[in-house]
Amino acid sequence: MFTSHFEVEKTWIDHNEHMNVSYYHYAFQQALNRYWEHILKKKNNSSADLALSPKNVHIRYLSEAFLGQLIDVHSFIYKSDYKGFSVYQEMKRDDTILCLFNQHVNFCTASEALIRQCDNTTYNSLHTIVKNTNIVLPKWIERSIDI
């Protein structure tokens, strides 16, 4: 698990005086970006130019966040391969779950946005994280939704 901390900013608040739904997604993406930077620095990877491109996402809003509140985003990588990984995230205020998020991301180059594969060092780092992830995932994770 990797945890990122945020304070709900004034620009994140909508006309109803709570956090705008787009900023829940923003906080999850910022948390994932911090986690990814941590992973790349941690193992001295040669794929430091790899960027992440969302392939699919699921989000569940459960409660509201308000101006000035401190929120934590807990990120769990639970599946990976050479083309990307899946991450489950929980946004909490104290012990209250505000929002749940799941996404699969593909690797791409930061400059060209072309899908590419990670190197063995990055793959091994992700595999170790997945192997050591100790969380029971909700049943809705990766459920197909037809529209």
Higher pLDDT, 70 or 141: 70
- Compute the average pLDDT of residues 7-13: 96
Q: What is the pLDDT of residues 43-68, one digit of tens each?
A: 555 555 667 777 888 889 999 999 99
At residue 60's C-alpha, the angle toward residues 16 and 116, to 5°, is 115
pLDDT tens digits for 93-147? 998 999 999 999 888 876 665 667 788 888 888 999 999 988 888 888 877 666 6
Query: What does pTM read for this prediction?
Result: 0.86
Q: What is the pLDDT of residue 76?
A: 95
Give the C-alpha separation, 74 to 91, whole Å: 7
Number of neighbours of residue 48 by Cβ within 10 angstroms = 11
Helix, coil or strand: residue 81: strand
Q: Which fold has domain 2-132?
A: Thiol Ester Dehydrase; Chain A (3.10.129)
Q: What is the pLDDT of residue 115?
A: 64
Sheet containing 2-7: order of strands: 2-7, 70-81, 84-93, 96-109, 50-61
In contact, 52 and 105? CB cutoff 8 Å: yes
Q: Where are the domains of the chain?
A: 2-132
Look at 5 and 145; give whichever has higher pLDDT. 5
β-strands 2-7, 70-81: how paired?
A: antiparallel
Bridge partners of 59, per DSSP, are 101
Mean pLDDT score, 33-50: 71
